[in-house]
Structure 1
């Protein structure tokens, strides 16, 4: 006789207390194996897959996609002993993300009599489970489906601009803007597009609603969209707000001739072996500069009224993803050469874009390198990544008129900026650090002294 066991949202570490359901990987009636991922969730740190410690048949799911659940809330129930494969009832006990006793097998979906087999789009999670009965609408992600649902938008009225008519987020946002321009509210009058709870009557998450804006009498009502700050975006908002409240920051900047650095990189990559990235060379310059100016690789403990200088450089770098800006951390960057730094930057960037960064890979940074030049801008005054003490910003490298060896010439010029915590050092130290970085950019041979 089968025994029904309840699997709850596990403690995901790093003090996380809740997670949002992004995509279910199983349905009621599916057969699951021990340590098979059953749901993809988004925490304040990253997107992760949660493995189930039991083998059996899924009898219930708790929470719709888009719902926020606290740690300890029920996720699914599994009838163990009911698996067709005769899997044992014992669980693995390894319910923390990233740990398991075996590699998760391919998903096996039970097809009920008279039910068509799932399409390729559905198997990839591109089709919503709550679409009307006359056929699924292909969307690029559950988040797009949720955006349409919360604003009362029928996806069947849209023509997707993606491959094979796939509906992208841009398609939904364009439709909402068009509706607003025509004087219609995004949500039908008298109706709030709240996602319904499932058959277990679970509470649902707050959603985006159209709220009338303050206006003069007889003026047309404008739609206001409210977007909850949660997940990675909410965590970033909290950290940036705390940084502004607690850190008395200042910024200094300098233009530098990067022509020789670019030539040195070209010469490195002309040789056999892995290619070296520009970001890796800048990171190597940063670690050398921090060795000369350790005040900037520190943090401030206001309770103890102490400046804590750190020996290791755990270098954070800004990475833009579809879910927003994240700052992965390269551990012990001071012990890595340019080739190792290049490989680690590539690995972390790929994980960031796939939403697979672990909490450890997103925390513990001591200094941040921000290459905002990739956005086509020259300068910036960024907010320090609390509780760090400084951030180096690098603008785009572009040809500009420059006095070189006493003559006007066209050179590759970059603007470097340093935002620093004025509690850890004065302008002399900050200026010395930035000038050393600029000197290494202009004359890479200067860096040889510290290698």
Structure 2
């Protein structure tokens, strides 16, 4: 019996993945739940285990090719259960449920989860074998209740890039769903008008063209949306971090786990958001993209910018308001190590409500960052450097940093943003203020 294993629902709104590395060969015997392929989603690089054990009879997708959720990955010849009668024609009425990837948190039940599973199918229609007769149309079954066919975002993007009007394309999928093969046929038929072709820069000899895929494409799309959708403003202030560094040195005496400067800054952010909860928020939009409500989040899911081999990622510390400074530091350290190793899961890269960006590690003093959509604000920390500073009425050398705060002007005005930033600066200069917030 040959079983087909398709790319499972990866959760977190992901609709596809790019093949990075095949881990099995055709003809190889595999065990149940053995990883068969490594794929790169818009969130992370993960290994995909197959729920069937047997002999791999086919692989689908070359390295670098993107597969949509629901498209086949491998077919496996499995032995039937002892005593099971093998039918002459295998025509199951429903595809067996696939096992979700471990740790992906696939949504359970509900109309939304089912609708998302149906909507992301974008499998290429199978072509008949060479020399095989064309399929004979059969009489249609009695009409079933109307079902809205949701076109995959991958198919929509393909049509948009080639100027294809989806309304003019006949879908061959279930319930008339327009599939990737339908759009590709329309492209080959020359339906795409030249005027709507993708705009590309003039080519020159020696140019290197690097496709935007996986994480880089997701980051590009997200930053573009943030820049177009959010009316952002930035304010900044210089702060004397000398006392903060001294307190950190005191905390790190002895054999206890070391507390990082990022952990202290994260603790300051959590305290500031407790005082200004309107900044731990996002904006709800209607179907026309108009702002209709402000959503204040009850928990602080603290994101922080981290550099990895795949580019910039923003891991998220869940429920940061419930963690001690030491616990917050441990979680920041764990996520940073996972980012460098490329082992962050999609769940660890989504759901943030506020982002801390320590660009000072790159030797930069200031920045006006783009807000991490759909959040409402981001705090930036510049490098800490010795500068002449007036302290207690005297000119002396102190360790100074620049704090920048970018916020969604739909969420708050200058009074709130200025108050938040001033409170953060006061805690950096007088870290003893944090004791009032613990």
Shorter-chain TM-score above 0.5:
yes
> Which of 77, 92, 96 is residue 100 of structure 2 equivalent to?
96
Q: Give CA deviations for 1:396-444 in whole Å, capped at 9, x if unaligned.
A: 1111111111212111111100000111111111111111101110111
Q: Partner of 1:256 in structure 2?
A: 239
Q: Partner of 2:269 in structure 1?
A: 286
> Which of 367, 391, 399 is residue 380 of structure 1 equivalent to?
367
CA distance in 2, matches of 1:414, 1:343: 24
> Which of 49, 53, 74 is residue 51 of structure 1 equivalent to?
49
Q: Number of aligned pairs?
A: 327
CA distance in 1, matches of 2:359, 2:226: 19
Q: Give CA deviations for 1:40-84 in whole Å, capped at 9, x if unaligned.
A: 1001111111000011122222222111111122211222239xx
1:131-210 matches, within 5 Å, as: none
Contact 1:50 1:96 in 2 (8 A): no
CA distance in 2, matches of 1:254, 1:75: 53
> Which of 429, 432, 435 is residue 445 of structure 1 equivalent to?
432
Q: Partner of 1:405 in structure 2?
A: 392
Q: Give CA deviations for 1:245-274 in whole Å, capped at 9, x if unaligned.
A: 111110000111111111111111113311
Supply the RMSD in Å over aligned alpha carbons: 2.2
CA distance in 1, matches of 2:201, 2:69: 35
CA distance in 2, matches of 1:434, 1:279: 17
Q: Partner of 1:370 in structure 2?
A: 357
CA distance in 1, matches of 2:401, 2:103: 44
SS in 2 for 1:384: coil
> Which of 385, 395, 403 is residue 382 of structure 2 equivalent to?
395
> Which of 53, 62, 65 is residue 63 of structure 2 equivalent to?
65
Contact 1:20 1:43 in 2 (8 A): yes
CA distance in 2, matches of 1:417, 1:8: 46
SS in 2 for 1:305: strand
Going from structure 1 to structure 2, the CA distance change for 1:409 and 1:17 (only over 3 Å counts) comes to: same
Residue 277, structure 1, aligned to residue 260, structure 2: yes
SS in 2 for 1:273: coil
CA distance in 2, matches of 1:298, 1:313: 9
Q: Give CA deviations for 1:79-98 in whole Å, capped at 9, x if unaligned.
A: 2239xxxxxx9xx9653211
CA distance in 2, matches of 1:419, 1:212: 32
CA distance in 2, matches of 1:309, 1:73: 38
Q: Partner of 1:173 in structure 2?
A: none
Length-normalised TM-score, structure 1: 0.69
Q: Name structure 1 gaps, 5 residues minimum.
A: 83-88, 101-202, 204-210, 215-220
Q: Partner of 1:76 in structure 2?
A: 74
Q: Name structure 2 gaps, 5 residues minimum.
A: 81-85, 87-95, 105-183, 185-199
SS in 1 for 2:252: helix
Contact 2:8 2:98 in 1 (8 A): no
Residue 336, structure 1, aligned to residue 310, structure 2: no
Q: Partner of 2:3 in structure 1?
A: 5
